């Protein structure tokens, strides 16, 4: 009886210990699972979306069916999503990523043109496979980079074309002078033409360098600039060419105004407007510069009584190397860069250039720059008053 009792007691103790061990094992497993769930939940809460939001790229996560599980704010506006689904242009990229999930190298980025709310954009896209058939799509808008590269290539092609003409002419003229070295009249005649072609080439190179500088993307040093000083210097630089063509230069309007920016760039822009006005004006006419303040801006208007700009080309005259009448422009010495420089200089100063024109009556180009005085900036020292041989001018024409 004692043996039976002892056996039962031992059995009960074994069962109790075994149950306790099982209980603690299950409890430990449950604790680990609970801890792991909490860890994953915490990671999901502070992890995926925050990490994706911190990336300098847009992102979309899609499941097996192409439904978006996550999307950055610009995904829809750039055209990656149609409703809650990935757009068709990207399904092949996603399928390739799933098929190459075990590939040792990261997938190559592809550039895909897509039409969205912002128009046609060029998107650089890379797809990365995740668990359970999900795919992370990373994208970057490279439209501006593509446009800049296209402009660069176009610029190089145009420069090459433009340089061929004066360089070829100089070579032929030099050969002609060498061949006729014993004829003083011929030498004198072709030497004058050689000088004009050399001057044209020099002007073209200077304009190319100036345009390259204003469009370089390098931030300019901003300082308070006297508008009177800008007008006086631009008039002074343009006066020789005006006298040669029999055109009178006058300036007037409000004085003592200031803008914030680069004096050199503003003088260059105004000088180009004056050179254009003189170039396309008739002899014995006047080109006027009028300065005024309006709606928080300083407006510098260059008014001529020249040939005017035809309506059909007004939208293109600020393009690089654009010349409406090739024959007339070539005779006048224009190279199609001056107004492009003006446009970029105005944009660099947070302003714009406006045009009013009527064929046969003339044109008014108005450089509009934010008024530093309207923002409470301090007046610069050395402000110039009335600009030399100037006189006030009246209404400078409407602007559209």
CATH assignment at residue 327? 3.30.565.10
> From residue 153, how far is each of 37, 201, 214, 346 by CA, in Å?
56, 21, 18, 24
User: How far apart, in whole angstroms, are the C-alpha atoms of residue 149 and residue 376?
Assistant: 40
The answer to whether residue 114 scores a pLDDT higher than 70 is yes
Q: Which domain holds residue 123?
A: 51-141
- Tokens, residue 191: 């030497």
CA contacts within 13 A on the Cβ side of 393: 23
Same domain, 278 and 381: yes
Query: How, if at all, do strands 135-141 and 85-86 pair?
Result: unpaired
User: How far apart, in whole angstroms, are the C-alpha atoms of residue 273 and residue 63?
Assistant: 59
DSSP code of residue 196: H
Same domain, 214 and 244: no
Indicate the pLDDT class of residue 392, thresholds 50, 70 and 90.
very low
Same domain, 251 and 383: yes
Same domain, 387 and 272: yes
| Residue 160: inside a domain | yes
| Residue 7: inside a domain | no
- Tokens, residue 350: 């947070």
Q: What pairs with residue 86 in β-bridges?
A: 81
- Concatenated DSSP letters for 352-395? EEEEEEETTTEEEEEEEEEBTGGGTPPPPSS---S-SS------
279-298 pLDDT, tens digit per residue, is 888 888 999 999 999 999 99
Same domain, 277 and 397: yes
The domain boundary residue, chosen from 218, 249, 282: 218
Same domain, 213 and 223: no
Query: Which residues, 6+ apart, have CB-to-CB distance to 250 below 8 Å?
Result: 286, 287, 288, 289, 389, 390, 391, 393
Arithmetic mean of pLDDT, 61-80 = 80
- pTM for this predicted structure: 0.53
| Residue 66: inside a domain | yes
148-175 pLDDT, tens digit per residue, is 777 677 666 666 766 777 778 888 888 8
Same domain, 164 and 93: no
| Residue 125: inside a domain | yes
Same domain, 177 and 132: no
CATH assignment at residue 182? 1.10.287.130
Instruction: Count how many domains the chain has.
Output: 3
The answer to whether residue 200 scores a pLDDT higher than 90 is no
Query: Which residues, 6+ apart, have CB-to-CB distance to 282 below 8 Å?
Result: 305, 306, 307
| Residue 11: inside a domain | no
């Amino acid at each position: 009886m004692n043996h039976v009792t002892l056996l039962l007691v031992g059995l009960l103790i074994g069962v109790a210990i075994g149950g306790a061990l099982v209980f603690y094992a299950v409890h430990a497993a449950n604790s680990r699972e609970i801890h792991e769930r909490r860890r994953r939940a915490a990671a999901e809460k502070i992890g995926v979306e925050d990490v994706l939001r911190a990336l300098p790229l847009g992102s979309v996560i899609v499941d097996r069916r192409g439904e978006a599980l996550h999307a950055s704010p610009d995904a829809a506006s750039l055209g990656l999503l149609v409703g809650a689904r990935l757009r068709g242009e990207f399904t092949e990229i996603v399928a390739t990523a799933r098929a190459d999930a075990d590939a040792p190298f990261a997938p190559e980025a592809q550039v895909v043109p897509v039409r969205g709310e912002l128009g046609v954009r060029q998107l650089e896209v890379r797809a990365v496979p995740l668990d359970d058939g999900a795919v992370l799509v990373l994208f970057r808008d490279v439209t501006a980079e593509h446009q800049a590269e296209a402009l660069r290539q176009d610029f190089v092609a145009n420069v090459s074309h433009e340089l061929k003409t004066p360089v070829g002419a100089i070579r032929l003229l030099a050969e002609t002078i060498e061949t006729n070295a014993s004829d003083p009249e011929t030498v004198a005649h072709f030497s004058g033409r050689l000088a004009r072609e050399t001057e044209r080439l020099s002007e073209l190179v200077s304009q190319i360098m100036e345009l390259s500088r204003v469009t370089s993307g390098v931030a300019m040093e901003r300082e308070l600039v006297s508008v009177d000083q800008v007008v006086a210097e631009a008039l002074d630089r343009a006066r020789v060419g005006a006298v040669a063509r029999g055109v009178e230069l006058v300036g007037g309007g409000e004085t003592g105004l200031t803008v914030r920016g680069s004096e050199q760039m503003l003088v260059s822009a105004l000088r180009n407007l004056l050179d254009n006005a003189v170039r396309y004006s008739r002899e014995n006419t006047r080109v006027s510069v009028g300065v005024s303040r309006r709606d928080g801006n300083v407006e510098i208007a260059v008014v001529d009584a020249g040939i005017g700009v035809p309506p059909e080309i007004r939208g293109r005259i600020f393009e690089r190397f654009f010349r409406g009448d090739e024959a007339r422009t070539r005779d006048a010495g224009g190279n199609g860069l001056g107004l492009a420089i003006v446009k970029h200089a105005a944009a660099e100063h947070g302003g714009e250039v406006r045009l009013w024109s009527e064929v046969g009556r003339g044109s008014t180009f108005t450089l509009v720059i934010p008024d530093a005085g309207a923002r409470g900036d301090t007046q610069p020292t050395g402000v110039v008053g009335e600009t030399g041989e100037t006189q006030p001018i009246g209404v400078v024409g409407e602007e559209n």
